[in-house]
A and B are shown apart, each in its own frame.
Chain A
Amino acid sequence: MLETVWFVLWTLLWAVYFLLDGFDLGIGSLMPFLASDEEQKKVMYSASGPFWDGNEVWLIAAGGVTFAAFPKVYAVMFSALYAPLLILLFALILRAASYEFREHIEHASWRAVWDWTHFIVNILACVVLGVFFANLFRGIPFDANGVYFGNLLKLFNIYGIAGGIFFLLIFMMHGAIWLSIKSTGQLKDKAVAAAGVLWVGVACMLLIFLVLTAFYTNIYSNYIRMPWLIILPVLAVIGLLYIPRALNHGKSFLAWASSGLFIVSVTFFGVMGIYPNMLISSMDPAATITAFNGSSTTLTLEIMLVVCLVMVPIVLLYQFWMYRLFSKPVPPSELDEHLY
Chain B
Amino acid sequence: MDQTVVLLSRLQFASTIFFHFIFVPLTLGLSIIIAWMETRYVLSGDDFWKRQTKFWGRLFLINFTLGVVTGITQEFQFGTNWARYSEYVGDIFGSLLAIEATVAFFLESTFIAVWFFGWNKIGRKLHCLCIWIVAIAGNTSAFWIIMANGFMQHPVGYQINEAQGRAVLSSFTDVVFNGFAWGQFAHTVLAAWALSGFFVLGISAWHLLRKSETDFFHRAFKMVAPYTLILSILVAFSGDQEGVAVAKYQPAKLAAMEAHWRTQDHAPFYLIVWPDPENRRNSVEMIGIPSLLSLLAYHAPSAEVKGLLDFPVNNWPPVTEVFWCFRAMALIGVYLLALSIWATWQRKRPEPSSALLKILVWNIPIPYICIMFGWTVAEMGRQPWIVYDLLRTSDAVSPLPSSNVAISLIAFTLLYTVLGILDIYLLRRSALKGPDPVKTQDPKEA
Contacts and interface: CB of A to CB of B under 8 A. Distances in A.
A65 B80 contact: no
Nearest to B170: A299
Given A54-B110, A96-B65, A145-B399, A75 B87 contact: yes
Interface in B105-119: 105-107, 109-114, 116-119
Contacts of B118: 325-326
B404 interface: yes
Contacts of B101: 57, 60-61, 63-65
A111 B99 CA distance: 38
Given A56-B109, A64-B100, A322-B114, A85 B76 contact: yes
Contact of B443 (A308, A322, A336): A336
B61 interface: yes
Contacts of B444: 106, 336
Interface residues of B, number: 72
Contact count band on A = 35 or more
Contacts, number: 234
Contacts of B87: 71-72, 75-76, 146
B12 to A, nearest CB: 10
B260 to A, nearest CB: 38
A54 B398 contact: no
Interface in B51-104: 61-62, 65-66, 68-73, 75-76, 78-81, 83-84, 86-87, 89-95, 97-103
B311 interface: no
A104 B63 CA distance: 13
Contacts of B119: 337
A82 B8 CA distance: 14
Contacts of B362: none
Contacts of B80: 78-79, 82, 85-86
Interface of B is mostly: helix
B358 interface: no
A92 interface: yes
B305 to A, nearest CB: 38
B105 A71 contact: no
B155 to A, nearest CB: 15
Interface stretch (A127-135, A174-182, A312-320): A312-320
B314 interface: no
Interface string B412-430: 0001000100110010011
27 contacts: A53-B113, A54-B106, A54-B109, A57-B105, A68-B95, A71-B91, A74-B86, A82-B408, A85-B76, A86-B76, A89-B72, A94-B415, A96-B69, A97-B66, A97-B419, A146-B399, A147-B399, A296-B94, A296-B95, A300-B95, A303-B169, A308-B102, A322-B114, A325-B114, A336-B444, A337-B120, A337-B443
Interface of A: 49-51, 53-54, 56-57, 59-61, 63-69, 71-72, 74-79, 82-83, 85-86, 89-90, 92-94, 96-97, 99-101, 104-106, 145-148, 296-297, 299-300, 303-304, 307-308, 311-312, 315, 318-319, 322, 325-326, 334, 336-340
Given A77-B79, A106-B444, A296-B91, 11 more contacts: A56-B68, A57-B105, A68-B97, A83-B404, A89-B73, A146-B87, A296-B94, A303-B95, A315-B102, A325-B122, A340-B61
